Amino acid sequence: MPDQEIVVYFNGKIIPLSEAKVSILTHALHYGTGVFEGIRAYWREEDEEMFLVRAEDHYLRWKANCRILQIEPEMSAHELAELTAELIRLNHFRTDAYARPLAYMNSARIGVKPDGRHAFAIMVVPFGVYLPSENGIHAGVVSWRRVEDAALPARGKICSAYVNSVLATAEAHSHGYDEGIILNEDGHVAEGSTCNIFIVRHGKLITPPPSDNILEGITRDCVMTLARREMHLDVVERSIDRSELYVADEAFFTGTAVEVAPITRIDHRPVGTGQVGFITSHLRELYSQAVHGRIADYESWLKPVYQPVLESLRR
């Protein structure tokens, strides 16, 4: 990438990041009234191509979540995906990247009452490994509980809800863990601080259901699809007790940022053998191959960034 400032989409224009500013009175800054999304883009060196992963699915989820706060971004999911690809091209990225759309209430005033004013921005930045996990990570259950849907919907990726994740992450790190595991108010396992969780027991892949106050993860969905189609595993969505974490054969996190991250210890106890398990290892490799465009059956998940433009120039 050239030594130049990143450009972003802000207030209906593509401008340098340093010019994208909001007032310190902005409603979303004071009250957390924003909705964000995260989208990975992977660089494939041999073809000099970048792939956005399930970009339109991410934007459909983002637009749906925005409705929780009665925010209505005007662009379609397809238009938003195209805009994100254009930002990657304008920034000349030739490395893995991460897109962060953010819709927010933008009134510059004091007062909780919404007034219908909102805006959105899209930023794309170079982005590598978020949670180093090649040999597995040590996770721990934290004392904070997952926010309840009736109070602050976890499925919504609402900015203010992520204070819950910040507190959980801080506690986990203070205890020497790489990542936290949060229980819901019923005492069931919800998810990691910023990611979904799976366990393997008796050959079955088990993950909490949306009703246990989880984010309905797109990477989670990808992994469930790969597990069923490629490994012919039984995938079960059900509540998970805390004690099941200690007797699981394998465990791992999934998420746009963390990808597929093996868990080899929980609360100072080894998971299974204490090594990265076969199912986890295989799913991690399948996911990596799929998002880099190396499995034909999952090319529909990917949006090429550079090739469509090159092809149009050749015509």
Active-site hit among 113, 157, 204, 303: 157
Give the pLDDT confidence score for residue 2 in this predicted structure: 46
Per-residue pLDDT of the chain (315 residues; tens, 9 = 90+): 446 899 999 999 999 999 999 999 999 999 999 999 999 999 999 999 999 999 999 999 999 999 999 999 999 999 999 999 999 999 999 999 999 999 999 999 999 999 999 999 999 999 999 999 999 999 999 999 999 999 999 999 999 999 999 999 999 999 999 999 999 999 999 999 999 999 999 999 999 999 999 999 999 999 999 999 999 999 999 999 999 999 999 999 999 999 999 999 999 999 999 999 999 999 999 999 999 999 999 999 999 999 876 555 454
Give the pLDDT confidence score for residue 1 in this predicted structure: 41
Is there a contact between 255 and 196 (Cβ–Cβ < 8 Å)?
yes
Give the pLDDT confidence score for residue 310 in this predicted structure: 56
Which alpha helices (DSSP H) does 162-306 contain, by range? 162-174, 218-231, 242-247, 278-291
What tokens appear for 239 in the block?
A: 């509540």
* CATH 3.20.10.10 fits domain 137-297: yes
Distance CA 139, CA 144 (A): 14
Q: Where are the beta strands (DSSP E) in the chain?
A: 7-10, 13-16, 34-36, 39-44, 49-53, 97-105, 118-126, 137-145, 179-183, 189-192, 196-201, 204-207, 235-237, 250-255, 259-266, 269-270, 302-304
- The counts of H helices and E strands in the chain are 8, 17
Q: At what angle do helices 55-66 and 218-231 cross, to 10 degrees?
A: 140
CATH 3.30.470.10 segments of the chain = 7-126
* CATH 3.30.470.10 fits domain 7-126: yes
Give the pLDDT confidence score for residue 256 in this predicted structure: 97
Note the pTM of the prediction, 2 decimals: 0.95
Catalytic annotation present for 63: no
Distance CA 53, CA 42 (A): 8
Give the pLDDT confidence score for residue 268 in this predicted structure: 97
CATH 3.20.10.10 segments of the chain = 137-297
Indicate left, alpha or beta for 232 from its phi (over 0: left) and psi (-120 to 50: alpha): left
Distance CA 53, CA 85 (A): 11
